[in-house]
Amino acid sequence: MSMKKGNAFKHGLSGNRIYFTWHSMKNRCYNEKNIFFHKYGKAGIKVCDEWNNSLVSFYNWAVNNGYSDNLTIDRIDNYKGYEPNNCRWVSRAIQSRNIKPIRANNTSGYKGVSFIKERNRFAAQITVNGKGKRIGRYKTAIEAAIAYDEYVISNNLEHSINNIKGV
């Protein structure tokens, strides 16, 4: 696939959407002027050496792992970097669910858990296909978070979980 051109290799992929994905991924992780650098590079997210050093390697992984023009690259574990075992091609809807577990306005400390003051209980809840689902009410936030994780796992959902030990 590579053709020698002067002292550099020309891969012939610069107009390809996979090239754009590869370039954008590296830019988020290593270019301090990129508007998303604070969420990626500054947060310690890196691109594995195999992909960082070779578009052809990334291209081959992409086409052999479900790449399609209507999908985006997604890190399965948002605390880990871009590497073959931590990435997949998913729809934007699925990717939007795979966010870091805790949002800034979360007061319970766990994804899918909120405190119901009137009942003095923590509620575990989830949205699936646009519909809210109450999982249950619990005495502690950690019990509700465990219930949330178990619901996601047992229903094979694409949602991120709290990753509480023992689940």
Q: What is the pLDDT of residues 69-116, one digit of tens each?
A: 999 999 988 789 999 999 999 888 777 666 655 666 677 888 899 998
Mean pLDDT of the chain: 85
Which segment of 12-16, 21-25, 77-81, 119-123 scores lowest on mean pLDDT?
12-16
Percent with pLDDT over 90 in the chain: 53
- pLDDT greater than 80 at residue 34: yes
- pLDDT greater than 80 at residue 14: no
Q: For residue 121, what pLDDT is reported?
A: 94
Q: How many domains does the chain have?
A: 2
Query: How far apart are alpha carbons 18 and 111 in whole angstroms?
Result: 32
Considering the domain architecture, whether residues 21 and 80 belong to the same structural domain is answered as yes
Considering the domain architecture, whether residues 91 and 113 belong to the same structural domain is answered as no
Amino acid at site 155:
N
- 107 and 94 in contact (C-beta within 8 Å)? no
Which segment of 11-20, 29-38, 41-50 scores lowest on mean pLDDT?
11-20
Q: Which two tokens stand for residue 73?
A: 């690259």
Distances from the Cα of 55 to the Cα of 28, 148, 166, angstroms = 16, 39, 39
- 108 and 115 in contact (C-beta within 8 Å)? yes
pLDDT band for position 167 (cuts 50, 70, 90): low
Which residue, of 97, 121, 149, is where some domain finishes? 97
Considering the domain architecture, whether residues 72 and 133 belong to the same structural domain is answered as no
pTM tops 0.85: no
Handedness of CA 134, 140, 142, 147 (dihedral sign): negative
- pLDDT greater than 60 at residue 165: yes
Considering the domain architecture, whether residues 104 and 55 belong to the same structural domain is answered as no
- pLDDT greater than 70 at residue 4: no
Q: What is the CATH classification number for the domain harbouring 105?
A: 3.30.730.10
Considering the domain architecture, whether residues 9 and 91 belong to the same structural domain is answered as yes
